[in-house]
């Protein structure tokens, strides 16, 4: 693919991003990654929940904002709007939750209060299901679709606390790797070798991680439990990276493991988003 290649998500065309996972599919928690999750979720609604898909289409048709004509546009909108300083200041804390991890210590901390992805998810889901203003409901659809993806990025739910980072490493943003990257951006954009179109990415993700393999996790519908599941993976991500020599982080073995987990988590996010919207848009 050349620099002119684009990912098409309705009216808006965006630069194609690198591939993540194996050479067969790509998934990022960057803007295109949220779009892939939403694309797969919308395809599932088409197949399994036609009544909810009809309600989704009606909600999109009534949206006063321009440029949002499919679920993928909605899922990426909260990140795209960060270029607006006022919007970013209001919503930045909504994308994550700070759950500390200290190696060797058990997970026993309660969820913090205040503004974070769980409180924002609950508020926006209420607006989506109970709201009456068209713009407010459409924006809530965008936030809900986006937050499901964010929750399944483990470093949105985990922050390392140790002697190097006594106040936490900001979800991996302060944990530097040898290539100038950091842990958070690594997980936001794991890359492989080939890019593909958005619909193809969603189809290949679904084929590699079929819904049937997530039966037990799909039975869990509580958002707090989703967060703790993601946090457990975040803990493992840190344990693995801390076991490597600082001068070689991250190794190819780590990247291979992380890519596989990224694809798995993103597929799970798509399946959960489809079921969430099927219930919310009855």
Which residues are bridge partners to 6 per DSSP?
15
| Mean pLDDT taken over the chain | 87
Alpha-carbon distance of 7 to 131, in angstroms, equals 32
The answer to whether the bond into 250 is cis (omega within 30° of 0) is yes
Mean pLDDT of 71-90: 95
Instruction: Give tens-digit pLDDT for 3-15.
Output: 223 333 333 333 3
- 12 membership: H or E segment, kind and range: strand 12-15
Instruction: Give tens-digit pLDDT for 140-161.
Output: 999 999 999 999 999 999 999 9
First to last CA, the chain: 41
Would you state the pLDDT for residue 109?
73
Would you state the pLDDT for residue 8?
33
Mean pLDDT of 245-269: 93
Contact assessment for residue 49 and residue 274, using Cβ atoms and an 8 Å cutoff: yes
Instruction: Give tens-digit pLDDT for 52-79.
Output: 999 999 999 999 999 899 999 999 999 9
Q: Crossing angle, helix 117-130 and helix 223-242, to 10 degrees?
A: 150
Entry pTM = 0.88
Percentage of the chain lying above the pLDDT 90 cut: 75
Quickly list H helices, the chain. 31-48, 50-61, 71-80, 85-91, 117-130, 134-151, 183-188, 198-208, 215-218, 223-242, 252-280
Q: Crossing angle, helix 31-48 and helix 134-151, to 10 degrees?
A: 110
Confidence of residue 120 (pLDDT cuts 50, 70, 90): very high
Would you state the pLDDT for residue 149?
95
């Amino acid at each position: 693919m050349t620099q002119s290649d684009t990912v098409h998500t309705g009216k808006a065309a965006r630069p194609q991003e690198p591939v993540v996972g194996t050479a067969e599919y790509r998934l990022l928690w960057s803007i295109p990654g949220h779009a892939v999750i939403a694309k797969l979720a919308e395809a599932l609604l088409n197949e399994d929940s036609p009544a909810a898909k009809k309600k989704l289409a009606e909600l999109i048709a009534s949206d006063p904002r321009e440029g949002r004509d499919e679920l993928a546009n909605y899922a990426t909108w909260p990140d795209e709007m960060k270029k607006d300083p006022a919007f970013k200041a209001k919503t930045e804390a909504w994308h994550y939750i700070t759950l500390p991890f200290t190696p060797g210590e058990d997970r026993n901390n309660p969820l913090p209060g205040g503004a974070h992805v769980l409180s924002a998810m609950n508020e926006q889901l209420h607006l989506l299901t109970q709201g009456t203003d068209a713009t407010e409901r459409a924006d809530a659809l965008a936030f809900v679709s986006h937050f499901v993806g964010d929750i399944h990025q483990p470093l949105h739910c985990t922050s390392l606390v140790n002697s190097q980072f006594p106040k936490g490493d900001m979800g991996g943003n302060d944990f530097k790797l040898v290539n100038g990257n950091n842990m958070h951006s690594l997980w936001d954009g794991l890359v492989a070798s080939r890019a593909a179109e958005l619909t193809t990415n969603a189809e290949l993700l679904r084929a590699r991680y079929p819904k049937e393999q997530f039966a037990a996790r799909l039975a869990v519908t509580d958002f707090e439990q989703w967060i703790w599941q993601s946090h457990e993976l975040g803990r493992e991500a840190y344990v693995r990276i801390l076991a490597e020599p600082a001068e070689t982080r991250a190794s190819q073995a780590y990247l291979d493991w992380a890519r596989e987990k990224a694809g798995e988590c993103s597929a799970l996010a798509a399946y959960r988003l489809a079921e969430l919207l099927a219930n919310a848009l009855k």
